[in-house]
Copies of this chain bind each other. A is one copy, B any other.
């Protein structure tokens, strides 16, 4: 069973929630940061408390490396330690790194984020460079223990600027999805999904267009919750309740806002928010 099949099984069992671990002052309870000798230690501890309160409810976690990179060397040490801690518990983790470069450089990123200290189960990648950006990651996929999500159509306001440009009568993102599906053809697991999936934001029209055409692509769907997407918006990402995970970060991490005893009980509120999200999605999934 490859890692994408394990993710598929986990979605079947727990539902498709992927908690985004994006630690920052913006989501900490008021008194949290000052309890720690450094922002990096606060970030690590905050994420660990969120995970401890939610691990039995989720499909996987996505860790945004930018939030750790902003804290410098010590931040990246916390990123490394968080990924190791998550994976040591058997939890699946997507390293949200969105790297993309020429092949000789991408080989170093592959070493860093699949082979080295920052090893994740899945990575997000940017394919503006074409196939070269992915090629060095593929040897790591051969054992079935690593997977990739390539940016296809993102969830941000200016995404349409380039991604929706029309190429031969179809949006650019669809052309990207075609290439991604073709690259992943040799990496399909038992579930039918490929170790090479796609990042597709919570746009119902985009999801409805891509889902039936690319049955082998597992979707990583950002944009739910704080970014404005609803369960109905993400419902077209699924085949029979599977084939996608839906990311929520801020809506979970800052669920304590305005609640009593947030400083102590923020993990409890995160858990409640995940439970609500699992139910919200279950109601709307086909």
Contact = CB atoms under 8 A, between A and B. Distances in A.
Contact of A73 (B76, B179, B222): B76
Nearest to A26: B104
A205 interface: no
Nearest to A22: B105
Interface in A123-155: 126-133, 151, 154-155
Nearest to A155: B102
A181 B168 CA distance: 25
A219 B165 CA distance: 24
A64 B156 contact: no
Contacts of A73: 73, 76-77, 80, 117
Contacts of A101: 66, 98
Given A69-B109, A112-B70, A165 B154 contact: no
A157 B176 contact: no
Contact of A166 (B66, B106, B111, B167): B167
B108 A70 contact: yes
A10 interface: no
A67 B159 CA distance: 29
B109 A70 contact: yes
Interface string A89-100: 000000000111
Contact of A112 (B69, B103, B154): B69
This protein's copies in its complex:
2
A80 B69 contact: no
Nearest to A160: B130
Nearest to A164: B130
Contacts of A70: 108-109, 111-112, 116
Interface in A61-84: 64, 66-67, 69-73, 76-77, 80
Contact of A165 (B64, B133, B167): B167
Contacts of A103: 156
A117 B69 CA distance: 9
Nearest to A161: B130
Contacts of A151: 128
A179 B160 CA distance: 13
B109 A129 contact: no
B156 A99 contact: no
23 contacts: A24-B108, A66-B99, A66-B101, A66-B105, A70-B108, A72-B112, A72-B117, A73-B76, A73-B80, A73-B117, A98-B100, A102-B155, A103-B156, A126-B128, A128-B151, A128-B154, A128-B163, A129-B158, A165-B167, A165-B175, A166-B167, A166-B168, A167-B172
